């Protein structure tokens, strides 16, 4: 019989997509009520990896990644995804079902980057309440590494560098 050990808390991250960056301060107010203070944010940069979101959001979509000072229990990922889904609904375009903001919540720990999803696939594990978890990147040979299913943008050197920086912040938090 295996011995259950207490798990370390993890660092919540959110990948934000929007064609309306002016709404982000208000979105971030809502997020900080749920997650605590933001301790890292990238610059806002163009999202050019796919046209998947253009019909819904427009063609000048921007991306930003944020992480939070307060560490969380990895077992709350489904709850966090439910919250971000509800927050996306708050910011729908008037009289439509089109999102003005897309919030991809996940976490970083020492070994991996995990994203939450509402879509099932062979490489995703069901958490409950309609939410799945995907190990998007693994930490191996001193950097994050993609899997065959990792989204193209999450494979990019730019994103890998961002996640390595967030992991460094997380590691420093664990050492204090």
The predicted model gives 48-67 an average pLDDT of 90
In percent, the amount of the chain with pLDDT more than 70 equals 100
**Is residue 52 a contact partner of residue 102, using CB atoms and an 8 Å limit?**
no
The answer on pLDDT for 75 being more than 90 is yes
Q: How confident is the model at residue 146 (pLDDT cuts 50, 70, 90)?
A: very high
Summarised one tens digit per residue, pLDDT across range 1-12 is 888 888 999 999
Burial (CB count within 10 angstroms: exposed 0-12, middle 13-18, buried 19+), residue 126? exposed
pTM for this entry: 0.94
State the CB neighbour count (10 A cutoff) for residue 136. Answer: 23
As beta bridge partners, residue 45 has 63
Q: What does DSSP assign to residue 117?
A: E
**Is residue 132 a contact partner of residue 120, using CB atoms and an 8 Å limit?**
yes
Q: What is the pLDDT of residue 54?
A: 87
């Amino acid at each position: 019989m295996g011995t259950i050990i207490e798990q370390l808390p993890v660092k919540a991250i959110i990948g934000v997509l929007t064609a309306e960056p002016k709404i982000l301060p208000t979105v971030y107010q809502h997020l900080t009520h749920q997650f605590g203070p933001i301790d890292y944010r990238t610059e806002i940069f163009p999202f050019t990896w796919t046209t998947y979101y253009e019909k819904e959001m427009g063609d000048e979509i921007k991306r930003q990644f944020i992480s939070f000072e307060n560490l969380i229990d990895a077992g709350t990922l489904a709850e966090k995804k439910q919250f971000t889904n509800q927050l996306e609904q708050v910011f729908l375009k008037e009289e439509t079902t089109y999102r003005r903001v897309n919030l991809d919540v996940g976490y970083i720990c020492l070994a991996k980057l995990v994203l939450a999803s509402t879509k099932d696939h062979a490489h995703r594990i069901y958490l409950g309440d309609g939410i799945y978890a995907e190990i998007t990147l693994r930490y191996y040979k001193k950097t994050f590494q993609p899997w065959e299913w990792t989204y193209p943008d999450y494979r990019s050197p730019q994103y890998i560098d961002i996640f390595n920086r967030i992991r460094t912040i997380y590691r420093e938090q664990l050492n204090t």
